[in-house]
Amino acid sequence: MHVQPPLLISCADPRITPEKFFGLEFAEAAIIRNAGGRTHPALSSLPALESLGNTGTIIVIHHTDCGMSHYSESEFQDRSKMKHPEIDLHGEAFGVIVDPEKTVKKDVEYLKSFESWGKANVEIVGLVLDTFSGVVKRVI
């Protein structure tokens, strides 16, 4: 029986390397990385990876001291408009993280709200990495 590799959704912060803290070898997991490791922006990649057979368990990983926790949503919007006035985000939320345990739960519940994941029996879990200690904790 073929076991599908897990699909990891993780922050793009260079301190957060799921390959290292999970001890993954080449091609053992598909990894989507974005600011904060948020699930909403990852949705554009999930169906493509699923069609390629890359969705065993979906693991959402948030972490402490995330850059997405350093500013409010409005501060991110203002900073973006100031630095990149030509980019129209159409009010798209940046997905700030105040409490990584709460946001990883919210993101896992968001993915679980899609009926298709349940029908496919895809397990979806949420982890939080303590950036300073290296400890990974399962939250949901």
Cβ neighbours for 60, distance < 8 A, ≥ 6 positions apart: 9, 37, 39, 104, 107, 108, 111, 124, 125, 126, 127
Q: Within a 13 Å sphere around the CA of 63, how many CA atoms are in the beta-carbon half? A: 27
Would the annotation count 66 as a binding residue? yes
Q: How far is CA 50 from CA 4, 7, 47, 121, in A?
A: 10, 9, 5, 13
Would the annotation count 84 as a binding residue? no
Binding-site sequence positions for Zn(2+): 11, 13, 63, 66
Binding-site sequence positions: 11, 13, 63, 66
